[in-house]
Structure 1
């Protein structure tokens, strides 16, 4: 009887945590979607900031879309932080750094803010808004389940998050490369985006966050260098985005194997084959 009561108590506690998780996630996701819904009705003056870097003039335009992207991304980060801090492991002090969970939801909101205005008609825009709400809720709940590696839903949640990281990375890489801005800005932005998403991908692979941070820095630098080189090549935005995604996949994959201490000759050969096949397909079809 004692074991039965204990089991029922554990199940009840799990159900309460699940309910609280969905409730917290629904609140901040609803606020973000509301902000995205009102974005077409908001008009603020555009500011242009010009400055000299390495002897050449560079400019940054702050429009309503960019300001709202920053605001809603901040809301996504604070909402995610609040959700993660409600986890029992945080209360017990076993997880100290919650900022590692911010990158994916924050950059997902940035991608949604930039992509939604590109919808050709209202039905597509509404569909995109609904899809954004669903994906943000999925990200929030999945990240909650990856706090504890012993969580029954950990593997499925981790798989879903990995797929979403690559999708968000592709979307942002296409937007950045397609903007055709100066290499100083586009390469720096790509490096920042790639590094942050790599942190979301490698989070939890190794207990040493500093070592993980080093690998994310390497990922960002590699993407920045590749972006700088790609800017001298007249490729379409999708081709450029796919090439950057291929580099992102290879560097983060090798980083993960390195963190797990499984990096050997066989692994290097496998990744080299993936690189050759992927590069060959992209160059052949050049989408």
Structure 2
């Protein structure tokens, strides 16, 4: 079976799995979502197995596992309308297929130069932010204490940032020390922002978008730094986006 057929099959199976979870009793849905994540690792590992080597079984499969889990968690926050859920399922299936293509390019690019690498990094960056939004939105919807928000947001950020930074390094036999250090530092910063934001009367969507934007700023700057292309203009552009979103969040927050 060709790779593309494998990718299509895996995307369909995971989409059907996500659809089937809604028929499981509420008490067991979180366990079912974790099971979906485990199946995603097995299925995606099988689909990409030809080019996976050493640490790529961890790095290249991180996002393909977290993505369906995040969508599964977000899926049950939606209104119980079949149309909206079918739309999410369709978007998920397309996103899963695109993600498998992206990770395939990463694993090949770790061995030899490939022209589609820049496009793959853009898609991977986008799906990382989408996944982060789903996770942050789920965490924020629980209305947890400030320390729980900080811990959960920080922990959720670690693997997402780690795999995104690895996509710049693309090492197959080792994990660079700076990748680990930057992942932990950026995740800590996002967790601290979540802690501070817990004291603001923001809505779930606004809070999640703010955190995702800050992740976009930190991760974008770090990726440019890793690739040796972080110029002053690029830095100012990212910081400008962060300041605009911070100001917008402040203005749309109902303080009264």
Shorter-chain TM range is 0.7 to 0.9
Task: Quote the residue 2:69 is aligned against.
Answer: 110
Show structure 1 runs of 5+ residues with no match. 1-18, 45-62
CA distance, structure 2, for counterparts of residue 227 and residue 67 of structure 1 = 26
Structure 1 position 35, deviation (Å): 1.9
> Which one of the candidate residues 227, 237, 247 is aligned to 2:204?
237
> Within 1, Cα distance between the matches of 2:240 and 2:74?
33
What residue is the counterpart of 2:131 in the other structure? 168
Q: How do 1:173-188 and structure 2 match up within 5 A?
A: 173-188=136-151
What is the aligned residue count?
A: 246
Q: 2: CA distance between counterparts of 1:252 and 1:97? A: 20
1:262: how far off? 4.5
Higher strand share: 1
Partner residue in 2 for 1:123: 83
Q: CA offset at residue 191 of structure 1?
A: 1.0
CA distance 1:40–1:276, shift in 2 (3 Å): closer
Structure 1 residue 230: deviation in Å?
1.3
Q: CA RMSD in A?
A: 2.4
Residue pair 1:243, 1:279 contacting (<8 A) in 2 also: yes
TM-score by length of 1: 0.76
Larger Rg: 1
Q: 1:267 to 1:135 in 2, by over 3 A?
A: closer
Cross-structure match for 2:6: 24
Give per-residue Cα distances to partners, 1:91-137, cap 9 Å, x unaligned: xx6x6432112232222212221232324311222222222222111
Return the alpha-carbon distance in structure 2 between the equivalents of residues 265 and 155 of structure 1. Answer: 21
Superposition map of 1:50-129 within 5 A: 63-87=27-51, 90=52, 96-117=55-76, 118-129=78-89
Contact conserved, 1:148 with 1:154, CA < 8 A, in 2?
no
Using the TM superposition, give the Cα deviation of residue 267 of structure 1 relative to its aligned residue in structure 2, in angstroms: 4.7
Aligned to 1:33: 15
Q: Deviations over 1:43-93 (max 9, x none)?
A: 27xxxxxxxxxxxxxxxxxx4221111110111122222333312xx4xx6
Contact in 2 for aligned 1:37/1:129 (Cα 8 Å):
yes
| Closer, same or farther: CA 176–275 of 1 in aligned 2, 3 Å | same
Q: Is the 8 A contact 1:226 1:244 kept in 2?
A: yes
The one of 130, 136, 143 aligned to 2:96: 136
Higher relative contact order (CA 8 A, sep 6+): 2
